[in-house]
Structure 1
Amino acid sequence: MDDNSSLKEALSATSTAVERVLEPFLALSGGPEDRVIEAMRYSVFSGGKRLRPFLVLASAELFGVDRSQALRVAAAIECVHCYSLIHDDLPAMDDDDLRRGKPTVHIQFDEATAILAGDALQALAYEILASEETHADPYVRVALVKELARASGHHGMVGGQMIDLTAEDHDMDEMFIYRLQQMKTGALISFSAEAGAIMGHASKGARASIQGYARDLGLAFQIADDLLDVEGSEEEVGKAVGKDEDAGKATLVTLMGLERARNQARILSDQAIEHLAGFDDKASLLRAVAHFAINRRA
Structure 2
Amino acid sequence: MPPASETVPAAAPCPGGTGVLAGRTVARVGYGAMQLERLHDDRAAAIALLRHAIDLGVDHVDTAEFYGNGFVNDVIREALRPEDDVLIVSKVGAVSDPGGPFPLRVAQRPEELRAGVEANLATLGVEQIPVVNLRRMDAGMTIPFPDDQAVDLDDQLAELTALRDAGKIGAIGLSSVSPDVLRRALPAGVVCVQNPYSLVARDDEDLLELCAAEQIAWVPYFPLGGALPGMAKVTDEPAVLAAADRLGCTPAQVGLAWLLHHSPQTLLIPGTATTGHLEANLAAGSIILDDETLTALDAIPPRPSTAPLH
User: TM-score, normalised on structure 1?
Assistant: 0.32
User: TM-score, normalised on structure 2?
Assistant: 0.31
